[in-house]
Chains A and B, each alone.
Chain A
Amino acid sequence: MTDQSASAPLVVPAHRGLLGRFARRAEAVVLPLAALLVGIAVFSIFLLLQGKSPIQFFALTYQGAFGSAFSWQNTLSRTAPLLFAALCVALPARLGLVVIGGEGAIVLGGVAAGAAGVVFSQSIGLIAFPLMAACAMLVGGLWIGAVGALRYYRGVNETIASLLMAYIAIALMNHLVEGPLRDPESLNKPSTTPLPAQLRVGDIPGWEVHWGLAFGILACLLAWVLIEKTTWGFAARIAGGNMRAAQVQGLSVGRLIIGFTALGGALAGLAGFFEVAAVHGSANGSLAAGYGYTGILVAFLARHNPLAIIPVAILLAGFEASSGLIQRRMNLPAATVLVLQGFVFVSILMSDTLYGRFKMFAPERWRSA
């Protein structure tokens, strides 16, 4: 450890300063993109082994996801819950916590919103919507906040706890919609009482996509502001960068952990609200559609950056939206998209070991000209 090893003049040429800043940022874009391409390449081999054409697959994916106004609409409606689910992973991740149980908060948030909708069925939307959303966020926040509390007070691994609690949440939802909250008229598919027409969230005017998308994008923007521009976010980044250093600085690590997990859970709960109020019209088993799990992949691909979550969520929603078309036209099972997601996820996780390895992204290691 000699003192000369990393010494370089502090005054750097201006172009190198700008270029340097660009290079540093580029790492977080180039590596996930490369990982995505590697995942797609491995998936293509998987297709070839089955005698299917990868080119046809991705052409159909494009067509089914982004090829027409209808497919865009399909993609964007699937994007909304993914945005919230990804934030439920990304916010705790900035504190160094890997929470993968957003599905539980979505499901229970949906049940809470459905139940609240029944209670407020006589009110107008302007009054009922905020109350339904608040119930959904409260339940989701408590659910994932409990994961944070278990982690902080009892040292329980948050990854396992959140995953197992997601299964509990799904079981709880099944119990509620088949039992106490069941609408006697829902025969084949046990559900809560359908929401009256005035309590259905409509579409963004001229878009034919429900309002969940707008709120999801807003939530991503606000989350980005919170993390990058506020002192709370900075405190969370310190704790995520080094828990011990945060403690030595006197930051209340417990409050940060519980606060950020609860906030993530509340946003996932909001996804449940939109699924019930805008898509299904009542809370039922369709809430457990796997958005919480796809959200994990979205957050990791986006490097837990809330702004990057927006395009990544649209991309992955597109894969899911096109699965029906691929199923019909290529005679592949619907689970094929899950295989693709799996390959991409493994590739993303492996790319995590590459950060800091490449000289071109670290201006301090550039040889001075």
Chain B
Amino acid sequence: MAHQSELIEKDILAYLKSQEEKSLLRFITCGSVDDGKSTLIGRLLWDSKMVFEDQLAALEADSKKVGTQGGAIDYALLLDGLQAEREQGITIDVAYRFFSTDRRKFIVADTPGHEQYTRNMVTGASTAKVAVILVDARKGLLTQTRRHSFLVSLVGIKHIVLAINKMDLIGYDQEKFNAIEADYREFAAPLGFTSITALPISALNGDNIIEKSSETPWYQGPPLLNFLETVQVEDDRDEQPFRLPVQWVNRPNLDFRGFCGTVASGTVRPGDEIRVASSGQTSKVARIVTFNGDLEEAVAGQAITLTLEDEIDISRGDMLTRPEAPPLYTRHPEAHLVWMHDEPLQPGQLYLVKTATGVTPGRVTAVQYAVDVNTLEQKQVTTLGLNEIGLARIELDRPVSFDPYGANRDTGSFILIDRFTNATVAAGMVLNAPDESQRAHLSAGESNPWAPRLITLDAVAATNLNLVDLTEEKGLFILDLAQSIHDYLGKGNRILIRLRDLSQLEPVAQLAYDNELAFEFDRNGDGVSILLFKRGTTPLKGYGDDGTGI
């Protein structure tokens, strides 16, 4: 591992000092099995001297036994960790690799390119700041190049390296390189990347990986490693409003109450005013407590413990913010969902929603549309299957603090967990929280200002919506039930009706009476909720113990 061998040998203390200021870059590599992705990463590890002699000996032996380079060193074998993968000759999951130079430590998320593994790419990209997208110079842009680019843009990556590989096989042809780059820039324009950097490389020969290649005198940019060492990805997290999701309340004795969490954005100093997102209560920061002494300031990314000047009620799940810039605080986020499980999304079924502030039960009330990752076209769907991506409306059992994902990856993301299998079934990225009034799914009769309005509950089963919001109804109304909803309830499904106050209860009771339905009543923060159902029917899976508190 020869970094600065000379300095290490002569003055180790000076070397260690110089290493203390290193930064960290996480990036993801995207490409198919044949693009030479594993070879590229193997090469980076190799050339940055992260391979030891004993590993080299094993690599040489493996290259002879299972290598694809005719007995020559097969760098890809440095990476393929699991035995099953080796035998199949493909990488089947997300793997993380590490290497470092004198300027930066790198964490590489290595993910496969097959369509069925969209979920792995999204997983690997979720923590990355840069994506290296590999293209085979002979083939140019493929469907999967577009797919990968869309996925990394969805997950919020802003910097793209277009690594046009196997340049040796097209004779280092500048025109072909330029054509591929131009194609890509045109395709990627709507994806909103901050930077796109195209490089002509050969992972196998090492061209423009560590050193500039003599084969591409026409290429003026830096080699890949140098680019990765210097690319500026530091976002503006520090300039954004302060956010601290409270992870844990540290209460060792009556005299100390510390609020622990990782600063998601902004900075904080003793004396700063803060606000609790759920209650709206405010206080001032007293101390920022650490093992190594109190801090004068904490910045985004630090895991800290705050004490406050006042005793206010704060627990895990709360978010501390600057008073003048509160986050969304909503039960109804609208979000992109990436479905990650074999069993498709069941709209209406209760899942556990894990966010930066904890776990809240919730359901997907509607899938607005799905996106075809190959064409980027939207299509109408009612559910999402494995590796499908769509825009969905979520209903949570209680309000949760969010920011739009585009503004903050940490406070704008969530995962969905199946309550029965505990599997992680989806990844979510919050877009916004639409106005409540858009959420009633009703068909209104002719309006007559003197008579109660007739509202027919319909289309619920057809679209898998099971929420009726009547809080915006100003006047009197009566309710009727469409046959489809009658059938829907007959199968054990339930419908949640939200009322503004008790004055709206009578028409609901009348509806239940007329249709021999039962209901459960719950008063909550912003009104009244009624869960309407048919007695004597067994609820479908997912409703047996739905924990809605209704």
Does B bind A?
no
